[in-house]
């Protein structure tokens, strides 16, 4: 079942470039939107009355529970969860610094796994329970082409591979209860966070290796989310939005 104007669209990671744009898009279509993130500066800039922002630590189950209840109450229906929470991270398993071999930092490993996998699971499980109680819905998780393995992104790639496994497991379990779960595996999308995570030379190299010879556009991510929201026979799929690049 897809979202309809009487049900809420929830966007985790709504403070990011992708999440805030998706929140604004669905609000402009007339849906009540609940945006969740640590910081929501971008949502304030949109000044859209149909977007309700709740600042919270998405790794804290208590904060997420309280935030959802404060806006949705016990019976508020969620038709669509866009699980866009995440953190791009670049750090090699082994690096050489000042003549020393230095292994991947464990604090950053835990932070990346929490931001990309644990937070997504906490939000998804709570929203899924609500969807089962109130008539079903659709969940779209965000993965990455790094899930297949990418140099310098062991933690990030592992977390995104986890998202894909989580998506398929949830789809099998929740499909009979009226909840469809799919994911998008994004390539290099032309947004601020992509440009901040990679140097100009790295981006140019990726563009040259992409068969379409460009980065993806925000509108193309939005249209993919809408496809997974509205096509009610798609379940358990990971759809690549990457222009055909292979890392």
Catalytic positions:
156
- Compute the Cα dihedral for 245, 184, 144, 237 and give only its sign: negative
46, two tokens: 């949109």
DSSP letter string, 131-163: HHHHT-EEEEEEEEGGGG--TTBHHHHHHHHHH
Kindly report the three-state secondary structure assignment for every residue of 47-101.
CCCCEEEEECCCCCHHHHHHHHHHHHCCCCCEEEEEECCCCCCCECCEEEECCEE
Helix, strand, coil share (%) of the chain residues, nearest 5? 45, 20, 30
Between CA 134 and CA 208, with CA 21 as vertex, the angle to 5 degrees is 125
Q: Which residues of 74-90 are buried (b: 16+ CB within 10 A; e: fewer)?
A: eebbbbbbbbbbbbbbe
CB burial of residue 244 (10 Å; 0-12, 13-18, 19+):
exposed
């Amino acid at each position: 079942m897809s979202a309809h104007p009487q049900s809420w669209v929830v966007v985790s990671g709504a403070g990011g470039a992708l999440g805030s744009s998706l929140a604004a898009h669905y609000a402009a279509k007339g849906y009540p939107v609940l945006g969740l993130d640590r910081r929501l500066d971008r949502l304030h800039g949109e000044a859209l009355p149909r977007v309700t922002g709740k600042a919270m630590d998405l790794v804290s189950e208590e904060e997420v529970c309280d935030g959802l209840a404060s806006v949705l109450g016990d019976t508020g229906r969620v038709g669509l969860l866009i699980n866009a929470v995440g953190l791009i991270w670049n750090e090699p398993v082994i690096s050489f610094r000042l003549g020393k071999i230095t292994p991947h930092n464990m604090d950053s490993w835990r932070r990346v796994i929490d931001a990309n996998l644990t937070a997504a699971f906490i939000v998804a499980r709570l929203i899924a329970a609500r969807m089962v109680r109130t008539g079903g819905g659709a969940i779209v998780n965000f993965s990455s082409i790094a899930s297949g393995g990418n140099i310098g992104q062991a933690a990030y790639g592992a977390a995104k591979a986890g998202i894909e496994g989580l998506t398929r497991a949830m789809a099998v379990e929740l499909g009979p209860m009226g909840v469809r779960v799919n994911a998008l595996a994004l390539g290099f999308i032309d947004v601020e966070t992509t440009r901040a995570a990679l140097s100009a030379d790295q981006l140019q190299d990726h563009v040259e290796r992409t068969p379409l010879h460009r980065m993806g556009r925000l509108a193309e991510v939005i249209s993919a989310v809408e496809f997974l929201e509205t096509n009610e026979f798609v379940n358990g799929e990971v759809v690549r939005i990457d222009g055909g690049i292979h890392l």
